[in-house]
Amino acid sequence: MKLLFLILAVGAATASLEEEEYIPSYEGAKVYQLAPANEEQFSELFQYYGKEGHDFLRTSRALGDTTDVLVYPDNIEPFENFLAESGIQSSILTENVQNEIDEEAARQRSAPKANGRSISFNSYQRYDDIVAYLRQVAANNPRVASVFEIGSTTEGRPIVGLKLSSGGSNKPAILIDGGIHAREWIAPSSVVYFINQLAENSANSDLLSKVDWYIIPVLNPDGYEYTHTSYRLWRKTRSINRGSSCRGTDPNRNFGYHWMDVGASSSPCAETYAGKTAFSEPETAALRDFVLKNSKTIKLYLTFHSYGNYLLYPWGFTSALPSNNAELKSLAVQVNKAISSVRGTRYTIGTSTNVLYAAAGGSDDWVKGVGGVELSYTVELPGGGSAGFNIPASQIIPVGRETFLGIRVFGEYIADKFGK
């Protein structure tokens, strides 16, 4: 009997070891900045996209522009051999990713904290602080602001948003989200900044009179919290994949429009894992249901990511242009003009497939293709810091401020086109 127990206990321990998640170390991981000079070099480099051990932090299709790839220690030697053979021009952006992460963590720890009454933009906020801020804004401005929940995550967190509206019914609405990708911290912080400006700066109250705003700063709070507590560069959700020790699905490959057509992986360990089925993730299903419920009023969808300064619009699954390409483009040009007036920050404009890469299952494509929202954009905010992803918290306000001028242009356009 004792022996049987022992066998069972050892068996259970091994099983749970197998199930345990593997967390790679960033010690010795490097970020390469690469400038493919022709199509051939670009497609050779792109063979590494979605491959384990290689993480494309920023990609550009424009020849002469740069693509940043993080390479884990075990893959460095073969990757450097590949670079030498291909002749792709390269430089090292970060010698040791762990140092960057440690420095950022130290900055996060030492930043002055919020005073409990308002939000602090001195450091990247934790999810609970963001939710508390939304509740505070609603409590302080009950006539214009109300908190809503679109669902809850795998780990049980509520996915919370704020509605801003100064009355009237059947107004056109703008839906904004951030933080679909967990590690893109500048996205939730910018979206929180927009809330701050729309709700708490009376100079912007005109933007609430003709348009309603639904703003969800963190669509993937499980992943976002995980990047704060355990694994800075986590991108996906935190769902469990049966039969694999790798967790999570790339939520921006999980939306059900041309799902898995291109640029998405069926391997649960890949950064671009599209999930077992479309909308397998509670987070993407929650956004889907919210859009369908409000599809009559939502006229514009903006989803905030980082990094790379792109104003992208559908399609991400085909290089064919959408029928309203001219409108999508000219609005983006006006937005870019407004943003760049602040300190010269410039965005590249175009369809995801044509200026970035083909990748199906994105929220932008679904919201337009199925949700029926004709104007749909993915905004890739600026990067910075010596690893690109770790744009210092001192940039939260400068990035928020310049991007908000773009939000104003979007808001005025929707008010003019659809407002009564």
Q: How many CB atoms lie within 10 A of CB 319?
A: 10
| Strand, coil or helix: 258 | coil
At 206, the amino acid letter reads D
User: Any contact of residue 348 with ligand 0X9 (CB under 6 A)?
Assistant: no
DSSP state string for 14-47:
HHHHHHSPP----TT-EEEEEE--SHHHHHHHHT
Structure tokens given for 57: 């932090």
Q: Which of residues 315-334 bind ligand 0X9 (CB under 6 A)?
A: 316
Q: Tell me the closest approach of the beta carbon of residue 209 to ligand 0X9, in angstroms.
A: 32
- Which residues neighbour 266 within 8 Å (Cβ) at sequence distance 6 or greater? 260, 273, 274
In the complex, what is the shortest distance from the CB of residue 159 to Zn ion, in angstroms, rounded to a whole number? 17
To Zn ion, the closest distance from the beta carbon of 181 in angstroms equals 3
Identity of the residue, 165 or 390, whose beta carbon is nearer to ligand 0X9 in the bound complex:
390
Query: Which SS3 state, helix, strand or coil, does residue 194 take?
Result: helix
Q: For the segment 356-385, give every residue that binds ligand 0X9 (CB under 6 A).
A: 356, 359, 362, 364-365, 378, 380
Beta-carbon count within 10 A of 154 CB: 18
Query: Binding ligand 0X9 by CB under 6 A: which of 125, 252, 265, 336?
Result: 252
Nearest to 216 by CA among 152, 292, 142: 152
Taking the complex as a whole, the smallest distance from the CB of residue 108 to ligand 0X9 amounts, in Å, to: 21
How far apart are alpha carbons 119 and 140 in whole angstroms? Answer: 13
Q: At 71, which helix (H) or strand (E)?
A: strand 67-71
Partner whose binding site includes residue 365, from ligand 0X9, Zn ion, none (CB under 5 to 8 Å by kind): ligand 0X9
**Is residue 181 at the binding interface for Zn ion, with CB under 5 A as the rule?**
yes
State yes or no: residue 58 binds Zn ion (CB under 5 A).
no
Distance between CA atoms of residues 390 and 392, nearest Å = 6
The residue (of 104 and 380) whose beta carbon lies closer to ligand 0X9 is 380
Pick one of Zn ion, ligand 0X9, none as the site partner of residue 402 (Cβ within 5 to 8 A by kind).
none
Which x/- pattern, by CB under 6 A, does the window 129-168 give for ligand 0X9? ----------------------------------------
Residue 157 or 305 with smaller CB distance to Zn ion: 305
Please pick, from the candidates 181, 232, 236, 288, the single residue that binds ligand 0X9 as defined by CB under 6 A.
181
Which amino acids are annotated catalytic? 380
Tell me whether residue 212 or residue 364 sits nearer to ligand 0X9 (CB atom). 364
Can you tell me the distance from the alpha carbon of 335 to that of 82, in angstroms, rounded to the nearest whole number? 40
- Cβ proximity to ligand 0X9: between 159 and 312 the closer is 312
371 binds, options ligand 0X9, Zn ion, none, Cβ within 5 to 8 A by partner type: none
The torsion angle over the Cα atoms of residues 165, 119, 231 and 222, rounded to 10 degrees, is -40
Phi-psi region of 372 (alpha: psi -120 to 50; beta: other; left: phi over 0): left
Is 258 an interacting residue with respect to ligand 0X9 (CB under 6 A)? no
305 binds Zn ion (CB under 5 A): yes
Compute φ and ψ for 28, nearest 5 degrees: 85, -5
299 lies in the binding site for Zn ion (CB under 5 A): no
Number of residues that bind ligand 0X9 (CB under 6 A): 14
352 binds ligand 0X9 (CB under 6 A): yes
Residue 71 β-bridge partners: 30, 54
Decide: 393 and 182 in contact? Cβ < 8 Å.
no
How many CB atoms sit inside 10 A of residue 176's CB?
A: 24
Contact characters 258-297, Zn ion, x per CB under 5 A: ----------------------------------------
Minimal distance, residue 183 CB to Zn ion, in Å: 8
Q: How many residues bind Zn ion (CB under 5 A)?
A: 2
* Enclosing H/E stretch for 186: helix 186-200
Distance of CA 175 to the CA centre of its chain: 15
Least distance between ligand 0X9 and beta carbon 40 (Å): 23
Beta carbon of residue 342, minimum distance to Zn ion (angstroms, whole number): 23
- Cα–Cα distance measured from residue 31 to residue 12, given in angstroms and rounded to the nearest whole number: 39
Q: Can residue 270 be called a binding residue for ligand 0X9 (CB under 6 A)? A: no
| The entry of ligand 0X9, Zn ion, none that residue 378 binds, CB within 5 to 8 Å by partner kind | ligand 0X9
The rounded Cα 6 to chain-centroid distance in angstroms is: 47
HSE, side-chain direction, 13 A CA sphere, residue 125: 28
312 binds ligand 0X9 (CB under 6 A): yes
End-to-end CA distance of the chain: 79
**Interface residues with ligand 0X9 (CB under 6 A)?**
181, 184, 252, 305, 312, 316, 352, 356, 359, 362, 364-365, 378, 380
**Interface residues with Zn ion (CB under 5 A)?**
181, 305
